[in-house]
Amino acid sequence: METQRTNLLHKTADGLGRFFRRLTWKRRGFILFVVVLTAVLLRPLWQRAETGTSQLFPTDQTYHYESLRALGYATTGGADVNEILHAIGDIEAGDPESWYQGWTALADRKMAEAARYEHDQIGQGNALLSAANYYRTAEFMLYADDARKLETYRQSTAAFYRGLESLAVSHEQMEIPYQDHVLDGIYFPGDMAQHGDTLILMINGYDSIKEETYFTLGQEALARGFSFMSYDGPGQGSAIRENGIPFTPAWGDVNRAVVDEVTTAHPEIRQIVLVGFSMGSILATKAAAVDPRISMLVQYNIMYDFSFTPRESMPASFADRVFTDEPRPAWVSQALGYTMRFSSEQDWAIRHGSWVMGIDDYAEVLNQYRYYEISQDAPEVTAPVLLLVGENDHFVNEELVVTTADSFRQAASITSIIYDAQSGADEHCQVGAMHLWSADLFEWVYANLG
């Protein structure tokens, strides 16, 4: 048996050798380049899986993280624990269709539960909000050209607003004029006997929708008497899904339009705490740098340069081909397309970026990331700054934490909180530890209230 196996290996090696020798040197070089590039680009993901931190999907960081993100909202009214654990047990890691089917089935189940509760409005509302979260999660992995993406998004938002009505949560849907467009916002009034004159304004990131932020921070803010607002800016939520408005790095203009509208509609607002959610931390920093009406700035989770992670994962020579405004050979995007087949994280990130940034070329999608950074913006921020980060964040390393903190040279104060694994808040955006990070945020807000 061993002799047969050895002979088979020899024959395979000989066949590959003959095939390789028949190729031109140019083709040989390209094949070797793709093999090496694939190994290098996937290496950080292999290392991540080997650490054992991806507990829900041990072999896939993206599927683990997004599941934990949805599960974490159990503490703020958007999920129940065991039903999620059962649902993800039937999902195949790295398979977007399996992901969609699993989460949609769970969302449909919650909608059926809500329909049963004719008299218990709280039970109905809780089921609807969970369904909204599950539909959002189901939609997450679908490609932009899949007709089910818009349909599932609409199911999520419809369930969300029905849930708020069932629970009698006071809220106001706002239309925000911005250039030639209208952006959608949602405002929750706080208790004026407490801190209703202070607005917690949250900016989404690369992949969130404004409705999700009710679970992320909105409920915690309202419980403490603060007013809360979120909106879908260009490239986000309804702006990209319903109106096709792509991302822009000029977020100072975007957020200024939002602040103009909300302070006109609610002149009782005296202070604004601007909170960036993931990539939204970059957008929030850009906004705070040009608007003195921002009283405090929170980077929830630290982010300095959106191109950092993909750039660091590539060989320098290849990164130079990607992150440039010079014309690049077609093989650069072809190579990226090839490596995307082996990484659900890379496949989703680039395809999603192509959609929300309105760019077809894969390499150019990544190149646009470099315009989302704060080296010129952070030094202009004068408000107090809070920086939050987990030690196992798969987008940020220790060096970037120092770089980010040092960049806020004119800030009234800088507070950094780094969460370790034992805290449960060690992942990106502290998913799975909603009470902890929000308590730290509000403790800091109380200390800085004017």
The mean pLDDT value for 139-163 works out to: 98
Q: Tell me, what amino acid is at 13? A: A
Residue 36 pLDDT = 45
Which run of H or E residues covers position 164? helix 147-166
* pLDDT tens digits, 272-304: 999 999 999 999 999 999 999 999 999 999 999
Q: What is the pTM of this model?
A: 0.89
Residue 396 pLDDT = 87
Give the phi and the psi of residue 181 in degrees, each rounded to 5.
-120, 175
Cβ atoms of residues 120 and 114 within 8 Å? no
Residue 244 falls in which region: left (phi positive, over 0), alpha (psi -120 to 50) or beta: left
Q: What is the DSSP-derived secondary structure letter of residue 249? A: S
Residue 226 pLDDT = 99
Cα–Cα dist 161/164, whole Å: 5
In the predicted structure, residue 159 carries a pLDDT above the cut 70: yes
User: If DSSP codes are grouped into helix, strand and coil, which group holds residue 42?
Assistant: helix
Q: Tell me, what amino acid is at 144? A: A
Residue 394 pLDDT = 87
pLDDT band at residue 19 using 50, 70 and 90 as cut-offs: very low
Cα 404 to chain center, whole Å? 19
In the predicted structure, residue 410 carries a pLDDT above the cut 90: yes
Q: What average pLDDT is seen over the chain?
A: 90
Query: Quick one: which of 373, 355, 153, 370 has its CA closest to 235?
Result: 355
Query: Quick one: which of 227, 164, 155, 224 has its CA closest to 198?
Result: 227
Cα–Cα dist 9/334, whole Å: 31
Mind listing the domains of the chain with CATH numbers?
Answer: 170-306+372-450 (3.40.50.1820)
